[in-house]
Amino acid sequence: MIRSLLILLCILLLTGCVQKKILDDIQMVTIIGYDVPDEDKDGGLIKGIAVAPQYQPDGKVDNTVFIESAELSKEIRSQYNSGSSKPIVSGKLEVALFSREIAEKDGVIELVDTLQRDPSIGSRVFLGVANGEIEEMLSTNYGNVDTGTYFNDILTHNSKHGMLPQTNLHSFLYSYFSEGSDPFLPLLEMDDETVKIIGIALLNGDKMVGELDADSLFTFKILYEKFSSNDSFSVKLGPDKYASIYNIASKRKIDYKRAGNGKILITGNILGVIKEYSGNKLSPEALKEIKETMEKDIEERGTKMIKTFQELRIDPLSLGNVVRSRTRGEFDRDKWIDEYKDMDISFDMNVKITESGIIE
Amino acid sequence: MFRWFKKTQSPDKLKNLPELIKNLKESGDFFHFESKQHGSSFFLYYFKTLVHETPLNEHILRFLSQEPITSLKDIKDKVPITGIIITEDLKIICEKVMTGYVIVRLNENSVECALIPCQVKKARQVSQPEVEFTVVGSKEAFVESLDTNIHLVRKRLPVHELKAYELTLGKLTNTKVVVMYLEGIANEENVNTVKQRLEDIHVDQVVDSSVIMQLISDNRNSPFPQLVDTERPDRVVSVLCEGKVVILSDGSPQALIGPTTLVEFFSAFEDYFVNWIVASTARLIRFFAILFSILVTPVYVATLTYHYELIPSDLLSTLVSSRQRIPLPPILEALFLELAIELLREAGARLPTKVGQTMGIVGGIVIGTASVEAGLTSNVLLIIVALSALASFTTPVYRMSNTIRLTRFPFLIFAHLWGLLGITLCFSFLIVHLLKLKSLGRPFLEPIYPLRVKDLKDAIIRLPLRFQSTRPVQLQTEDTKRFNIKIHKDKNDFHE
C-alpha cells in the first residue's frame, strides 16, 4: 500500500517536469529557408526565413514571416522567439529550402544536421534548393493556405505521381552518408504567383555542382528508380508528327557482373499507352516506329546524362551502392570514384506499348 | 442499529403464544376472529394485508364452521389446503404469520396452534424486457416474484437436473434467494462457491439482487461488475445450459449469472438470434465503441497539450481555429464537457421519462451550441465528447456502460499530466487490474488471458452455431460436450 502510494506520489511530482505545448499557444513553423545574408545590411553568417501559419477562427490562414540572421542556425530560433508572441516550435516543419548560393558555396550539411538532430522534426521533411530570391519566395502568400503546406503539396504530388524522384530528409542523409551515392534535391523557382519545380540540383557531397532541367527528369527517373506515373512523354516522329505516351510504368535493372569487368549495363523497361497521335492511322508499322523512336530518344538522353554525371564525378544514380552490394570485400570509395569517371556505362531501353485505343 | 426492532419483535423475548398475539395486536392490520358454534370454539388470527380473502372465506371458514372441531388434527384433516402446520414453536409461528399464514387456536390460552397457508400473491404481470429489449426473440422478462421467475425458467428447461437451491438472506427482510444450476453440467465447485458465499452473507436487508452481487463479488473494490445481471429468462436458460450458475432473488427482476468474463458483458443476447456474420460485426463494433469511448477524449487532450506533431497538417487548421478563442486548457475544456454530459445523464435518469426527454434536448442542443458560441469549448471537442458518450451506451449490460464512463476520467487526468505516455501508463494499470480480477474464482479476462483458443468461438466474434458444440472451458463443466455435430453435405439441386 505504502509502496503504491509512493509510486503515485512520484508520478504526480514528476509531472511538473513535463513541458506543455498547448496547440493554440505555440507558433508552428511549417517552412524554413536559409540564405546568405547581405554583407552590408545584416551581420552573421546565415539568414533564416521561417514562416508560421496563423489560423483565424473564420477559416482564414495568414502567414507570419520571421527573418533573422545569426552565426548558427539554432541561434536564429532564439531570435525568432524575441519577435514572436508565442513560443516557436519546429515539430510541424514540412519543407526546408536552401538558397542556391548556400548550396553552391557553403554546402548544406551543417543546416541539414541541425534538422536531423531535432527529435521533433520528422525524417519525411522535404529538402529543396531555391533558385532565385528565397526571401521573396517565402514571403509571398499563395492563396488561403499556409506556405509550408503549399510547398509540401507541390513536392508530394510531384514525387508520387509526377516525374520528381522521391526525396526527403531521410533519403538525403542516406545518399550523403552512404559510400556509393551522391544526393540530389529538387530545384524550385518562383514563377509569378506560383512556385514551380524546374528540375533537380545535383550535389557532390553537400555542395551543388550541377542541375538537370525539368525535361530531363523523366529520363533521370527511369535511370533512378522503379515508378509508375500519370504523366506523359511525347515522341517526335518527324516534323509535325508526334505521339504521346501515357500511364507509364517503368523498371530499371542494373547488370554489373554479367556485363563484364568494369562495365555497367542499365536496362530500362517501360510499359505505356498511346493516347494521342498526330498522324493519320495508327498502323502496326506506326506503332513500331513510335516504339523504336522512343527507345532511341531515351537511350540517347540517358547516355548523355550518365556522361555528365561521370564528368562531374557524382553518382546520383547510386551505382556505387549497387557495385558495393554485389562485390565481396571492403568497398574503397576513393578507388570507386576514380574508376567511375571513365567507366563504360551503357544504357539499354525497352519500350512496350500495351494499348493504342479501341478503334482499329 | 436495529436494536429497537429486536426488542419488540423478537420472539425470543416473548414467552408464549398469547403474549405473541398480544404483541401482534399492536399492528392495525392484525385481525382476530372468534367463533363459538356446535359447542366448539376456534380463534383465527392473521394479518389482513398478507392473507388472500377468497380461500380464507371459501375454504378455511367454511370448513371450520361446518363441522365441529375438537382437535387441531381435525383441522389438518378437514381443511382442503396443503401445508398446514401444527406447532408450539413460537419462532415458527411468528415467522409464518408474517408471511401470510393464518393462526388457528381452539381456546384462548392454548400454546399450540395450527398454521394454514393463505398468502396473497400480488405480483406484476410478466411484461416485456425494457433494459435488454430485443427485436427478435422472447418478449418475457423477469418480475419481482421469485415463484414466477422460477416458473419462467422451469417451463423453458423441463428437466429434473435443473436444481433450485433455496436459502433465506437478510436478518430483517428474510429474502428468499434461489441458486439455480444444471446438475451434471455445472461444475460443483462453482455451485459450492456460490452457495458458500451466499451463506456467509450476514446483513439485515437484501432488497435486490444487486445487493447480493456486491456482497459476493470477488473484488468488491473494483468498478467492474463481476457477475452479469439479466432480466431475460431465455438468457438465463441459455447460460444454465452452458453450465453457469444463476442466482434469483425474491423481489428483484434481475437474475445474476456467474462465473462470467469481460467479453460476456459486450455480448448482447440478440447476438445469438441473428446470423453469425451480423452478430460478429455487431460485437466488433461494440468493442471498437468501448475503446473509442474510453480513449478518444484523453487522446484529444494529450495531443493538444503535448504532441502537436502528431496532428495531420490538414486537421491542424480546423483544430487551431476552433480553439482560437477558448481560454481554457484542453483538460478543463474536456472535463467541463464530460461533466456536462454526466449531469445530463444523471438528471435524465432521475427525472420521469417525459421530462427526461426534454432534458436531453435542452442539454444536447442548448448547452452544447451555447458553450461553443460562448467560446468555452471547441466544437471539435463537442463532437468527440458526444460521440464517446454515445459509444459508451452501446454496451448491452447497463452496469458495464457506467463503468466505462467512469474509466474515462482517470485516463483524462493521466493524459493531461503525461500525454500519450500517461495514457499508456493508465492503460497498463487497467490491464493489470483486469488481469487480477476473478469471477467466482475463475479468470475474468479469459479467453484472452489465459488464452483459451476453444473459447474464442464465442468471444470477440461469434462463430456459427455448429462451432458452439462444446461448453466454455472457463467453467470447467462436468459435461463438456453440448451436442455432436453432423455436417451434412448439401446436395446440389441445380442440374447443370
Q: How many CB atoms lie within 10 A of CB A250?
A: 22
| Residue A279 within a domain | yes
**Cis ω for the linkage preceding A239 (within 30 of 0):** no
Other Cβ atoms closer than 10 A to B492: 7
Q: Which residues of chain A neighbour B321 with C-beta distances below 8 Å?
A: 55-59
Q: Does residue A134 sit in the same domain as residue A203?
A: yes
Q: Testing the interface with B: which of A22, A51, A155 to mutate, by most B Cβ within 10 A?
A: A22
Asked if residue A154 is part of any domain, the answer here is yes
In terms of domains, do A158 and A89 share one? yes
What average pLDDT does range A214-242 have in this prediction? 85
Confidence at residue B264, expressed as pLDDT on a 0 to 100 scale? 92
Average pLDDT of the residues in B449-466: 90
Of B324, B330, B417, Cβ closest to residue A15 = B417
**pLDDT for the residue A30:** 93
Higher pLDDT, A109 or A276: A109
Q: What is the mean pLDDT of residues B479-489?
A: 81
**Mean pLDDT across the stretch A75-85?**
86
Pair A70, A44 in one domain = yes
Name the closest residue on chain A to residue B425, using Cα atoms: A11
| Spatial separation of the C-alpha atoms in residues B237 and B386, rounded to whole Å | 37
**How far apart are the C-alpha atoms of A268 and A255, rounded to whole Å?**
11
pLDDT of amino acid B249 = 95
Q: How many CB atoms lie within 10 A of CB B38?
A: 12
Q: How many angstroms separate the Cα of B118 from the Cα of each of B100, B113, B251? A: 6, 15, 19
Highest averaged pLDDT of the listed ranges B109-113, B246-250, B485-489:
B246-250
Whole-angstrom distance, CA of residue A259 vs CA of residue A266: 10
**Contact predicate A199/A217, CB 8 Å:** yes
Top residue of B300, B309, B413 to mutate, by most chain A CBs within 10 Å, is: B309
Model confidence at A259, in pLDDT bands (50, 70, 90)?
A: low
Find out whether B463 and B276 touch, Cβ atoms under 8 Å.
yes
Q: Which three cell numbers stand for residue A125?
A: 521533411
Give dist(CA B211, CA B213) in Å, integer: 5
Distance CA A174, CA A185 (A): 13
Nearest 5 degrees, angle CA A232-CA A238-CA A239?
100
Task: Kindly write down the DSSP assignment for every residue of A18-34, as one continuous string.
Answer: SPP--GGGSEE--EEEE
Min CA distance, A54 vs chain B (Å)? 9
CATH of the domain at A336: 3.30.300.210
Q: What is the pLDDT of residues B249-272, one digit of tens each?
A: 999 999 999 899 999 999 999 899
| Chain B residues lying within 8 Å of A56, measured CB to CB | 321, 324
Interface pTM, i.e. ipTM: 0.84
Q: How far is A144 from chain B (nearest CA, A)?
A: 11
* A276 and A143 belong to one structural domain: no
CB pairs under 8 A between A and B: 67
Q: How many CB atoms lie within 10 A of CB A119?
A: 8
| Better-scored residue on pLDDT, B227 or B324 | B227
Residue A5 belongs to a domain:
no
Residues A168 and A298 in one domain: no
**For range A252-260, the mean pLDDT:** 76
Based on the fold, state whether residues A58 and A152 are members of the same structural domain.
yes
Bridge partners of residue A351, in order along the sequence: A270
Domain assignment present for A17: no
Query: Is pLDDT at B489 greater than 50 in this prediction?
Result: yes
Instruction: With beta carbons under 8 A apart, name residues in chain B contacting A11.
Output: 417-418, 425
Structural domains counted in chain A: 2
Among B304, B308, B418, beta carbon nearest to A15:
B418
A312, part of any domain: yes
> A interface mutation test: which of B316, B428, B429 has the most A CBs within 10 A?
B316
Cell (9 digits) for A67: 527573418
Task: Establish if A162 belongs to a structural domain.
Answer: yes
Please give the backbone phi and psi of residue A233, each rounded to the nearest 5 degrees, phi first: -130, 125
Confidence of residue B7 (pLDDT cuts 50, 70, 90): very low
A-chain residue closest to B373, CA distance: A57
The 8-class DSSP code of residue B271 comes to: G
Secondary structure (3-state) at A65: strand
Q: What does the pLDDT read at residue A353?
A: 87
Residue A360 has pLDDT above 60, yes or no: no
Mean pLDDT of the A149-158 span: 92
At B93 the three-state DSSP class reads helix
Please compute the mean of the pLDDT values over residues B37-62 and round it to a whole number: 82
B287-302 pLDDT, tens digit each:
999 999 999 999 999 9
pLDDT of residue B8: 47
Q: Clarify whether residues A186 and A70 are in a common domain.
A: yes
- Say if residue A165 is in the same domain as residue A279: no
Query: Over pLDDT 70: what percentage of chain B?
Result: 96
- Gyration radius from chain B CA atoms: 30
Helix (H, G, I), strand (E, B) or coil at A108: coil
Residues B178-237 pLDDT 10s: 999 999 999 999 999 999 999 999 999 999 999 999 999 999 999 999 999 999 999 999
The tally of CA atoms less than 13 A away on the side-chain side of residue B95 is 14
Mean pLDDT in residue range A299-328:
89
Residue A306 lies in a domain: yes
Give the residue numbers in A contacting B (CB under 8 Å), as ranges.
11-12, 15, 18, 20-24, 26, 28, 30, 53, 55-59, 61, 89, 91-92, 94, 120, 122, 146, 148-149, 152
CB contact under 8 A, B323 and A23: yes
pLDDT of residue B144: 92
In chain B, which residue's Cα lies nearest the Cα of A4?
Answer: B429
- How many other β-carbons are positioned within 10 Å of the β-carbon of residue B495? 4
Residues of A in contact with B305 (CB under 8 A): 20-23
Q: What is the pLDDT of residue A183?
A: 93
How far, in whole angstroms, is CA A187 from its chain's centroid?
8
Could you tell me how many residues make up chain B? Answer: 496
Determine whether the interchain pair A20/B306 forms a contact, defined as Cβ–Cβ distance below 8 Å. Answer: yes
**How far, in Å, CA of A60 to CA of A40, rounded?**
37
Contact yes or no for B176/B198 (Cβ under 8 A): no
- What does the alpha-carbon distance between residue A251 and residue A274 come to, in Å, rounded to a whole number? 19
Cell 520528422 -> residue: A122
Residues in Cβ contact with B216 at an 8 Å cutoff, skipping those fewer than 6 apart: B194, B197, B198, B201, B227
Q: Which letter does DSSP use for residue A49 in this model?
A: E
**Percent of the residues in chain A that have a pLDDT greater than 90, as a whole number:** 36
Q: Is the pLDDT of residue B5 over 70?
A: no
Determine the average pLDDT of the residues in A143-161: 90
**A55–B321: do the CB atoms touch at under 8 Å?**
yes
Residues spanned by the domain of A349: 226-360
Note whether B425 contacts A11, CB cutoff 8 Å.
yes
Peptide bond into B80 cis (omega under 30): no
Mutual orientation of helices B276-305 and B379-392 as an angle, nearest 10°? Answer: 140
In a shared domain, residues A260 and A157? no
Asked, for residue A59, whether it belongs to a domain, the answer is yes
Q: Report, as an integer, the average pLDDT of B15-22.
A: 82
Same domain, A295 and A335: yes
Strand partners, B178: B166, B248
Which tens digit of pLDDT belongs to each residue from B331-344?
999 999 999 888 88
Of A20, A61, A152, Cβ closest to residue B317: A61
Q: Are residues A244 and A145 in the same domain?
A: no
Task: Note the pLDDT tens digit of each residue in B60-119.
Answer: 888 877 777 778 887 888 788 888 888 888 888 888 888 888 888 887 777 888 888 888
Question: Which residues in chain B are closer than 8 Å to A23, comparing Cβ atoms?
Answer: 303-305, 308, 311, 319-320, 323, 330
Domain co-membership, A197 together with A291: no
In the predicted model, is pLDDT for residue B12 greater than 70? no
